[in-house]
Amino acid sequence: MSGRRAWIPLVPFALMATGVLAVLATWLLSGNLESDLGDRSRAALAAAGVGGGAVSFDGRDATLRGFPADQADRAAEVVRGVTGVRAAEASGSIPAPEPPAPAPAPAPAPVPAPAAVDPPRDLQAEIDRVLAEAPITFEPDTDQPTEQGVQTVRRIADLIRDAPAGATFEVGGHVARAKGEDTASPSARELSQDRADAVKKLLVEFRVPAERVAAKGYGDTRPNASGDDRRVEIRVR
């Protein structure tokens, strides 16, 4: 009887030791379990191509941190699929970077303004070119155009026939001053007028409206700097 009583005080110590051993075993098993689940979860994430974050376990419950926002849900899904994992939750994910703003479209190249066109000036330049190539010539001391003169007048008529409305033309006749004369000669003015009239008549025959052509004889009052005093000029007005 006395032997049994001697063990009674030791019972609480035995129970305490058992509890400590149970807690220690649980702690050791839990630590091994979390380590194993962590290793297998990280391997699963690597195999799925999901990275950039960390996985920690509290027992069989996983917490995922630091994964980009656009991969956090996918990472949690992969960890949940690991055998032994009870739950997985993403926490503290990194926001996905904002896509770069599109570069502004280059401004359209300015369209160059069309070059200014001056129809009368352009027409005058063309008339002058024709007259420089083939002057309107006459039989000596007459108002009768040569064959070349007639052909030149025909070419000019083709140029001015369809000139812009409102454009008119002056046929100016010029002759050379006679040697020894210091003043304008009435006969020179008369001949220059007759030649201007002859050219106007040809232009009208070549279908240039008569009301758009004026003829004026300048005689020998306007000598040309080039020395070409016997000439007929046609000016756009």
**Shared domain check, 124 and 161:** yes
Backbone CA torsion sign across 219, 220, 226, 231: positive
pLDDT at 194: 96
Q: How many CA atoms lie within 13 A of 9 on its CB side?
A: 3
Range of the domain at 132: 119-236
- Same structural domain for residues 131 and 227? yes
Each residue of 35-49: pLDDT tens digit?
A: 899 899 999 998 988
* 126 and 213 both lie in a single domain: yes
Which pLDDT belongs to residue 182? 56
Q: Are 210 and 182 in contact (CB under 8 A)?
A: no
Q: Quick one: pLDDT at residue 7?
A: 47
Q: CATH number, domain at 23? A: 3.30.1340
pLDDT of residue 67: 87
Domain boundary among 40, 71, 91: 91
Model pLDDT, residue 39: 92
Q: Is the pTM of this model over 0.85?
A: no
Domain boundary among 39, 73, 91: 91
- Looking at residue 124, which CATH number applies to its domain? 3.30.1330.60
> Is 105 domain-assigned?
no
pLDDT in tens, the chain (237 residues): 555 555 455 555 555 655 544 433 443 445 688 989 989 999 999 898 888 788 899 989 999 888 888 888 989 999 999 998 999 988 865 555 566 777 777 777 776 665 555 677 899 999 999 999 999 999 998 999 999 999 999 999 999 998 888 899 999 999 887 765 655 678 889 999 999 999 999 999 999 999 999 999 998 888 877 767 788 999 998
- Digit-coded pLDDT (tens) for 143-161: 999 999 999 999 999 999 9
Please give the Cα distance from 56 to 42 (Å, whole number): 10
Confidence (pLDDT) at 23:
38
Q: How many domains does the structure of the chain reveal?
A: 2
> Residue 153's pLDDT is what?
96
